[in-house]
Amino acid sequence: MPFKLQSESETALPITCILSDVDGVMTDGKIIYDAAGLETKCFHVRDGLGVKLWMQSGFQFGIITSRQSEIVRRRATELGIQHVSQGQEQKWPEAVGMMAALKCKPENVCYVGDDLPDIPVMQRVGLAVAPADAATDTRRAAQWILRSRGGEGALRELIERLLRSKQRWEEHLCH
């Protein structure tokens, strides 16, 4: 049977859950320590609104990150993200557990990652996505490569694209 290329809408339709890395996706990937040794991260406000709109549309969102950071916990709390897993070097086993908790199958998951630890998850889910500035091998593993760089609205771009493909974006526009 010949291979059929899916349209963007066909690819987006089964996606009901986004799992995302943090550093390099939700942030620009820089880790900054101040003089007191406190870590800082910079999040884009449009990514935050995008995550809220995704969840308001009835879809799931979770975070899986290799690093451990109080800042990530705080940002997730601000956005209402309940499924957050930090300090995970092996992301696929954690993704399996999170999918079980969220009651979704791999084919219904979009995973957004920017570097090598993300590839095992990207290879096993319905939609693999990478920011424009992701590592070369990670971009190769992605089905969609975003125009935005990590920390510069990449999640918002993805969520808007998915919701538009599902004919769900317009319900969030102010009329």
Point out the annotated binding site: 21, 23, 114
Binding-site residue numbers for substrate are: 23
Q: Which residue, 39, 14, 24, is CA-closest to 131?
A: 24
Q: How far is CA 131 from CA 21, 36, 41, 156, in A?
A: 11, 31, 17, 11
Contact 130, 139 (CB under 8 A): yes
Contact 110, 83 (CB under 8 A): no
Binding-site residue numbers for Mg(2+) are: 21, 114
* Tokens found for residue 27: 């942030």
